[in-house]
Amino acid sequence: MDEKKQGYFEIIKETGRFILITLLVVVPFRFFIAQPFIVSGDSMVPTFHDGEYLIVDELSYSLRDPLRGEVVIFRYPNDRSKYFIKRIIGLSGETVLVENGVLKIVSSAGTSTVREPYIRSQELMDMSVRLGSNEYFVMGDNRNESSDSRYWGPVPRKELIGRAFARLLPIAQADVLPGNFSPALTSN
């Protein structure tokens, strides 16, 4: 084989090797570990704004239970083709209670008031929702503009895609574990 053909063969071989390695690394990463998500709407303002680009950690919830305060991406229970972003407020087995506009959690440890420093304002209607096994109560940070568990009920664990792991855009607000707070529970 002359040098020119051998050079082309080497280029094709190296390109094929690069593509194969890329597929073996990127595809499993994308489908089993992380995926991109673009925020749509204002339900999570001021924490997240329309058009922000996030990376979703899909692995954590196969290793541990979701935690209160984590920002999660999930399939909307009433239309599984849609993906929503909200904050976990109530955990499996708890009761989410609103009395006189005050958000409370009732668990085996007693009743606690939820303190959320990331909320600007909220007008909450009185309600009580008992969460079953593997159910989570989620709410948007922009409570007055959010369609969430108050209106369509708990999110089953099987619908959770993952937690917001990184905000990549806008670059000025890029960070890891954006918006994750652990709301303080104050015993009543």
Cα distance between residue 165 and residue 57, in whole Å = 5
Angle formed at CA 132 by CA 154 and CA 95, multiple of 5 degrees: 75
Catalytic residue among 4, 43, 121, 182: 43
CA distance 155 to 124: 19
Q: Is 182 a catalytic site residue?
A: no
Catalytic option among 86, 112, 146, 149: 86
Give the separation between CA 89 and CA 14, rounded to whole angstroms: 51
81 tagged catalytic = no
Q: What residues are annotated to the active site?
A: 43, 86
